[in-house]
């Protein structure tokens, strides 16, 4: 059936059906098989039926290495994130971008990062426009400010450009894929961790701390989850008070300290990452060991207070892994036409004093 001079290599791995084999079985050329596989047109009904009937009998799985090597075309992906210089959280995301870049390099994919801030020349909208000038084939975005993000999505929709969101989901958007955490559930988890071993009255603060906090609607989901946990699961008396704090206000630290000093407070849940260490510092300065502090992410400063016991738990959002996965979904869509999940929710990782080092030193995070 085949040439006798040598056992063809594909017979050594019985699974590896090639385009050449399909062409022979269908009685057409390799070019025709390629045209069918990629819907390139210019294929007669007769040839199309021949090839399809072979494809229906045989599990053909393209060699993705060869496909990438043979492809004439390169792809560009733009990644839009908040400015990493001022926030260790986004710095972590940036290192994920660099890692993904190296990973996809040999596949002919270029990944370009763009950084935005809340307002002005470096706002999300202007940065998005600038990134479009580079003619990307797709975009990966962490949209943390709600109203600005909407304009960007409209534009991308008009252009028919695929985009992936991570970190923050915007319900009105139509991304190829969203990668993040179930925020409501992370609030439930925080509630559970707060309540462990507590059998008498609790007085708890939920602090939403940041800049332009009113645009950050996703924080309310965490609070809802937290309150839901207590409502459903806890029978002793509980008082939960939520407060918005703007880091740019002159009295920010003073207000924070007044709250920490309140002798009634048994727990504080901070819904973001960066300010957790500020809260922990004030707790430490005021020797408030009785306060159980829960926040998000293993930023360097958070980690230190965790190891010293001033922070009880951090819920890891794994931002680095999120952007790596987001880029991976976009690339798999562009290069291989792979189906990617509409939504991918990450594990809610509980970080505490005696497991934090295992996360820091681990190679898979």
Instruction: Pick from 192, 242, 244, 284 the residue near its own copies by CB under 8 A.
Output: 192
Pick 60 or 252: Cβ nearer DNA: 60
For its own copies, which residue of 49, 157, 308, 358 counts as binding (CB under 8 A)? 358
Q: Which of 41, 120, 160, 197 binds its own copies (CB under 8 A)?
A: 197
239 touches its own copies by CB under 8 A:
no
The footprint of DNA (CB under 7 A) covers: 8-10, 16, 18-20, 28-32, 34-35, 37-38, 41-44, 46-47, 62-63, 66-67, 69-73
Q: Which stretch binds its own copies (CB under 8 A): 49-57, 112-120, 128-136, 339-347?
A: 339-347
| Residue 182 binds to its own copies (criterion: CB under 8 A) | yes
Instruction: Based on the shown chain and the rule CB under 8 A, indicate whether residue 337 belongs to the binding site for its own copies.
Output: no
- Nearest approach, Cβ of 113 to DNA (angstroms)? 24
CA distance 178 to 94: 18
Residues 62 to 81 in contact with its own copies, rule: CB under 8 A: 63-66, 68-69, 74
Q: How big is the chain by its Cα radius of gyration, in Å?
A: 26
Contact call for residue 301 and its own copies (CB under 8 A): no
If the CB atoms of residues 101 and 185 are measured against DNA, the closer one turns out to be 101
As a whole number of angstroms, the distance between CA 116 and CA 126 comes to 8
Which residues, 6+ apart, have CB-to-CB distance to 107 below 8 Å? Answer: 68, 331, 335
CB of 363 to DNA, least distance (A): 25
CA atoms within 13 A on the CB side of 33: 20
Question: 33, 51 in Cβ contact below 8 A?
Answer: yes
Neighbours of 233 (CB within 10 A): 11
Distances 348 to 188, 190, 288, 295, 361 between C-alpha atoms, Å = 11, 10, 27, 12, 19
Where do we find the tokens 């991570």?
166
CB of 306 to its own copies, least distance (A): 12
Are 137 and 111 in contact, with CB atoms under 8 Å apart? no
DSSP bridge partners of 343: 178
Say which residue the tokens 């915007």 belong to.
Answer: 170
Which spans of this chain sit near its own copies (rule: CB under 8 A)?
12-13, 15, 63-66, 68-69, 74, 105-108, 110, 181-182, 185, 188-189, 191-193, 196-198, 229, 321, 325, 341, 344-355, 357-359, 361-365
């Amino acid at each position: 059936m085949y040439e006798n001079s040598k056992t063809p290599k594909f017979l050594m791995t019985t699974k590896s059906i090639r385009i050449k084999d399909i062409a022979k079985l269908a009685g057409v050329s390799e070019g025709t098989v390629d045209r069918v596989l990629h819907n390139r047109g210019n294929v007669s009904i007769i040839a199309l039926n021949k090839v399809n009937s072979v494809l229906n009998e045989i599990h053909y799985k393209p060699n993705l290495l060869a496909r990438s090597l043979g492809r004439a075309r390169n792809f560009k992906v733009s990644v839009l994130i908040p400015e990493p210089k001022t926030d260790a959280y986004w710095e972590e995301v940036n290192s994920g971008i660099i890692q993904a870049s190296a990973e996809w390099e040999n596949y002919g994919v270029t990944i370009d990062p763009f950084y935005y801030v809340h307002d002005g020349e470096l706002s999300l909208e202007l940065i998005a426009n600038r990134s479009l000038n580079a003619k990307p084939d797709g975009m990966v975005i962490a949209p943390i400010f709600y109203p600005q993000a909407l304009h960007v999505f409209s534009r991308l929709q008009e252009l028919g450009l695929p985009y992936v969101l991570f970190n923050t989901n915007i319900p009105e958007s139509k991304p190829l894929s969203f990668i993040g955490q179930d925020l409501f559930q992370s609030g439930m988890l925080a509630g559970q961790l707060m309540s462990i071993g507590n059998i008498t009255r609790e007085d708890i603060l939920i602090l939403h701390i940041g800049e332009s906090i009113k645009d950050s609607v996703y924080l309310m989901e965490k609070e809802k989850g937290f309150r839901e946990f207590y409502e459903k699961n806890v029978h002793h008396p509980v008082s939960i008070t939520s407060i918005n704090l703007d880091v740019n206000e002159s009295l920010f630290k003073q207000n924070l300290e007044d709250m920490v000093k309140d002798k009634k407070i048994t727990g504080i849940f901070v819904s973001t990452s960066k300010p957790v260490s500020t809260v922990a510092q004030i707790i430490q300065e005021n020797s408030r060991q009785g306060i159980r502090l829960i926040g998000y992410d293993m930023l360097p400063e958070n980690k230190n207070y965790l190891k010293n016991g001033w922070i009880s738990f951090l819920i890891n959002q794994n931002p680095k892994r999120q952007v790596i996965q987001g880029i991976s979904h976009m690339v798999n869509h562009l290069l291989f036409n792979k189906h990617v999940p509409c939504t991918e929710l990450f594990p809610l990782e509980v970080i505490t004093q005696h497991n934090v080092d295992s996360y820091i030193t681990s190679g898979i995070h």
